[in-house]
Structure 1
Amino acid sequence: MGSYGTTFSVSVMKRDVIAAAMPVHDHWLPMSNLDLLLPPLDVGVFFCYKNCLPLDESVNVLKKSLVEALGPFYPLAGEIIQNNLTEPELHCNNRGVDFIHAHADVELNNIDLYHPDEFVEKKLVPLKKQGVLTVQVTELTCGGLVIGCTFDHRVADAYSINMFLTAWAEIAQSKPISSFPSFRRSMLNPSRPPVENTFYNKQFFPLSSLPPPQSSLPTNPLISRIYYIEAKDISYLQTQSSLNGNPKRSKLISFTAFLWKIIAECEDGFKSCKMGVVVDGRGRFDKLSLSNTMSFSMQNYFGNVISIPSGEVNSSELKEMSLDLVAKMVNEFVSPAMSEEHFRGVIDWVELHRPEPVVAKIYAKMDENDGEAIVVSSGQRFPVNSIDFGWGKPNFGSYHFPWGGQVGFVMPMPSTRNNGDWIVCMHLLQKHLDLVETKGLNVFKPLTSSYLNV
């Protein structure tokens, strides 16, 4: 467990399966080509509340509202099954969501959220064994509680789950749902016939082209940490990334450039250093004219609408670059992905390779000279202050994504302080975390209970 924080045990008090209240027509929902880019990965998200209703009442509110929320969000109560082409397909059979009611013998202010591997993983965020979504509600000895959810990434991206979480909280407060989901896969149909473009060979590849695994080589585990960044430090990075006549860079691009330079410090100079950025395509579709068949906004689309453009630079070059030059480089590889044309091209590229599984190139090492890779995903739309089930907003909320493999993952999210600060969830190699806490010492601050005021 380690010497930091207070060790605690979690006991399961009750297990239920929560299905949608309204009848759900049993049917199969195909995955879109953008869903098919995702391997089987489970993603966690959790919310910590210092105060709540009497505990049994809180759990009953959560169960009752979940029953209602699974009506419009019915795919979350289904199952993923391989079809005869060995591709995943969503069976919307209202199997239900596993709901775990647990108790932890710890107070919220003694949970070391800075070390989520030890204090969150499989304790407060459940392991999903079946279905698409698993929920765990954990009572704390202080009278607070933690709501943890684990979902299958092939069914939903963070934007989609944010939509569900917001609707679930709205239902709990007897409010109308602000955003109903759409599962209209025709929005993301490929061209007929699909158009081949070799540009996408640089960003994606069939799994069959991966080199055979070198099982004799040891792999180092990735470790999770949670930090906070003060608003003034984010603004400083943005200023430094926009010097020397460069246009004002976004906060995310400035942050990504800063992190990329840090990571390059641990390479030997001969290896490359790769960085990927998750781009949400919903707004890209809306900015262009939509055909008559697209009579509603992509903003309601539930599923995966993401692409992961990436850049690769020799680490010795990266170390010597000023932050504004690195930010320019990040902007150059991200910008082409910020269009409907890009996403249409990805959809066609996947179609031309089906049914063979494909994946973004950032996820794999193709040869021994490939250095480390990290993916940054913006969680700025994380509606942490809206997840109020009737007893107030959470004191803390974060995604938790220890996705396995050797590719690092970083997600900056808004703080519950609502003052421009960021919460940053990191899943990196130890050597990278060491650099984050030395080279990035003035920016990345370990999350503490005093910061959260719990």
Structure 2
Amino acid sequence: MSQSLVFKVKRHEPELVKPSKPTPNETKLLSDIDDQDGLRFQIPVVQFYNYDPNMKGKDPVDVIRKALAKTLVFYYPFAGRLREGNDRKLMVDCNGEGVLFIEADADVSVEEFGGQLQPPFPCWDQLLFDVPGSSQVINTPLLLIQVTRLKCGGFIFALRLNHTMSDAAGLVQFMNALGEISRGMNEPSIPPVWYRELLNARDPPRVTCTHREYEQIPDTKGTIISLDDMDHRSFFFGPTEVAAIRALLPPHQQQQHQHSNFEILTACLWRCRTIALQPDTDEEVRIICIVNARGKFNPPLPNGFYGNAFAFPVAVTTAGKLIENPLGYALELVRKAKADVTEEYMHSIADLMVTNGRPHFTVVRSYLVSDVTRAGFGEVEFGWGKAVYGGPAKGGVGAIPGVASFYIPFKNDKGEEGLVIPVCLPTQAMERFVKELDHVLNNNNINQTIKGGLKSGFIISSL
């Protein structure tokens, strides 16, 4: 992607899009998983669409705006506002006030973003304008959507979600409903259901599992990263890169059925990132793996549920052990952490939230990874075909900068299917991370070289 790309965006004044028909005026409680402190932030996603000659004469802004009003009839809680009650309990005031919508035009084409669309995106703040006063969690619109027409006839659909309302699966369900109605359907093929009480604390609450992900660790050594010293880059991992990392493992860990690509990449990135950040050897470091728990319940959560239904299981070790041991050590820690998540584990989290004041997951010396390859962002269609790119707009999102990375499905310019992973680190740490990752791949005779620190076989882009 061209990092020197500069373009102008002409925006109309933000407007509120309300449900097209009257909706219930009521108060709906979020679940005790939804309203934990670690989800009280806004998360951005972006979709790029090419021009489709079959849609000649159709305006994507007009199509999506009208469909949004109809979709909000079914997803009317999104048109409401969050309120906070006793004990920090969050609830939706379903008042039909509407969601923020911005119409925009840009003097740029999809092609000018380069052949490989991936985070970080140039001029991101113009593709999703941060409407003043809208980014607070309480008493503000729950969705902000900007549709930007491009000079090629394509468009960009950018959305910001109040994360307490939905996880990736829930958001994609809403976006698919919006797409279906944009394409002429009268109602979503999957009717939304609330049922947040399924993830509420028990009465009385009883914390039955160990939840080290919520330990409150003091940041005594100033490891929380400053926002003004952040380097955002994306890294591509295709079959060659994954095979190179897998080859570092002993034979019994190399088999595909033993460890998934997600687990192997997570172990590798966690280790490289820890080396790059240079903590003291006796300091604890953590890897947090987002695990979708929808299928962990018996019976599973109902089809159409669009709340947050995932856990933050964590593996903890010291920096010294992580760095000095072979990669297989980190891999086993990742595998065991993922296996912790059960239906009982989810109930235990909800109970912990109400007994401990809805704490934030631990961010001190933590790295959080979230696999959105199965979420389906790229499948969302508004009538112009599937997205050229669809998914998270950047890494490092959340209340704490630099902690999170997403695993996003991606096809490189050779046609290889793989993952693109945005990473966000302080500038000097990023240089060490690049060097360490290059070393990992080169040790397996992968012919990769860093050119100016910006691009190689695995580094895709940086800003």
2:83 alignment partner in structure 1: 81
Q: Cα distance, 1:447 vs. partner?
A: 4.7
Q: Cα distance, 1:222 vs. partner?
A: 3.6
Q: Cα distance, 1:32 vs. partner?
A: 0.7
Give, in whole Å, the separation in 2 of the partners of 1:23 and 1:41: 29
State the one-letter code of the partner of 1:219.
Answer: S
1:389 alignment partner in structure 2: 382
1:306 alignment partner in structure 2: 310
Give, in whole Å, the separation in 2 of the partners of 1:242 and 1:181: 46
Give, in whole Å, the separation in 1 of the partners of 2:184 and 2:273: 47
Residues 1:283 and 2:282 aligned together: no
Residues 1:446 and 2:454 aligned together: no
Q: Cα distance, 1:444 vs. partner?
A: 2.8
Q: Cα distance, 1:413 vs. partner?
A: 1.6
1:94 alignment partner in structure 2: 96
Aligned residues of 2:79 and 2:99 also touching (Cα < 8 A):
yes
* 1:95-126 per-position Cα deviation (integer Å, ceiling 9, x unaligned): 11111011122222333787856625322133
Residues 1:219 and 2:220 aligned together: no
State the one-letter code of the partner of 2:45.
Answer: V
Q: How many residues align?
A: 423
Give, in whole Å, the separation in 1 of the partners of 2:352 and 2:65: 42
State the one-letter code of the partner of 1:300.
Answer: G
User: 1:101 is paired with a residue of what secondary structure?
Assistant: strand
Q: Cα distance, 1:56 vs. partner?
A: 5.9
Query: Unaligned stretches of 5+ in structure 1?
Result: 291-295, 366-371, 449-454
Q: Cα distance, 1:253 vs. partner?
A: 0.9
Q: What RMSD over aligned residues (CA atoms) do the two structures have, in Å?
A: 3.0
User: 1:169 is paired with a residue of what secondary structure?
Assistant: helix
Give, in whole Å, the separation in 1 of the partners of 2:162 and 2:22: 23
1:452 alignment partner in structure 2: none
Give, in whole Å, the separation in 2 of the partners of 1:384 and 1:115: 13
Give, in whole Å, the separation in 1 of the partners of 2:113 and 2:253: 46
State the one-letter code of the partner of 1:35.
Answer: D
2:321 alignment partner in structure 1: 317
Q: Cα distance, 1:269 vs. partner?
A: 4.5
User: 1:438 is paired with a residue of what secondary structure?
Assistant: helix
Pick from 424, 427, 431 the counterpart of residue 424 of structure 2. 427
Alignment of 1:400-411 (within 5 A): 400-401=393-394, 402-411=397-406
* 1:315-355 per-position Cα deviation (integer Å, ceiling 9, x unaligned): 23222322233211111122112x111101111111223xx
Q: Cα distance, 1:278 vs. partner?
A: 0.8
Q: Cα distance, 1:379 vs. partner?
A: 0.5
Give, in whole Å, the separation in 2 of the partners of 1:395 and 1:144: 10
Q: Cα distance, 1:28 vs. partner?
A: 0.9
1:184 alignment partner in structure 2: 195
Pick from 237, 261, 265 the counterpart of residue 229 of structure 1. 237
Q: Cα distance, 1:84 vs. partner?
A: 4.4
Aligned residues of 1:46 and 1:398 also touching (Cα < 8 A):
yes
State the one-letter code of the partner of 2:82.
Answer: I
User: 1:302 is paired with a residue of what secondary structure?
Assistant: coil
Residues 1:12 and 2:24 aligned together: no
Shift in alpha-carbon separation, 1:16–1:428, aligned structure 2, 3 A: same
Give, in whole Å, the separation in 2 of the partners of 1:265 and 1:71: 50
1:360 alignment partner in structure 2: 361
2:112 alignment partner in structure 1: 110
Q: Cα distance, 1:410 vs. partner?
A: 0.6
Shift in alpha-carbon separation, 1:358–1:135, aligned structure 2, 3 A: same
Give, in whole Å, the separation in 2 of the partners of 1:10 and 1:386: 26
User: 1:423 is paired with a residue of what secondary structure?
Assistant: strand
Aligned residues of 1:10 and 1:105 also touching (Cα < 8 A):
yes
User: 2:97 is paired with a residue of what secondary structure?
Assistant: coil
Q: Cα distance, 1:216 vs. partner?
A: 13
Q: Cα distance, 1:189 vs. partner?
A: 2.8
* 1:182-235 per-position Cα deviation (integer Å, ceiling 9, x unaligned): 1112212322211133723x2214xxx665999999835444333332244335
Give, in whole Å, the separation in 1 of the partners of 2:312 and 2:436: 26
When normalised by structure 1's length, the TM-score is 0.84
- Once the two structures are overlaid, the 10-residue window that deviates more, 320-329 or 131-140, is 320-329
Q: Cα distance, 1:140 vs. partner?
A: 1.7
2:35 alignment partner in structure 1: 36
State the one-letter code of the partner of 1:233.
Answer: E
Aligned residues of 2:225 and 2:426 also touching (Cα < 8 A):
no
When normalised by structure 2's length, the TM-score is 0.82
Residues 1:134 and 2:144 aligned together: yes
1:249 alignment partner in structure 2: 259
Identity of aligned residues (%): 20
Give, in whole Å, the separation in 1 of the partners of 2:225 and 2:234: 26
1:412 alignment partner in structure 2: 407
Give, in whole Å, the separation in 2 of the partners of 1:446 and 1:351: 43
Aligned residues of 2:79 and 2:96 also touching (Cα < 8 A):
yes
Give, in whole Å, the separation in 1 of the partners of 2:407 and 2:213: 23
State the one-letter code of the partner of 2:343.
Answer: E
Shift in alpha-carbon separation, 1:125–1:432, aligned structure 2, 3 A: farther
* Over 4 Å off, 4+ runs: 112-118, 209-218, 238-242, 416-419
State the one-letter code of the partner of 1:346.
Answer: I
Alignment of 1:158-177 (within 5 A): 158-175=168-185, 177=188
Residues 1:119 and 2:113 aligned together: no
Give, in whole Å, the separation in 2 of the partners of 1:145 and 1:328: 44
Pick from 336, 344, 357 the counterpart of residue 340 of structure 2. 336
Shift in alpha-carbon separation, 1:150–1:282, aligned structure 2, 3 A: same
Q: Cα distance, 1:139 vs. partner?
A: 1.5
Shift in alpha-carbon separation, 1:100–1:154, aligned structure 2, 3 A: same
Aligned residues of 1:40 and 1:154 also touching (Cα < 8 A):
yes
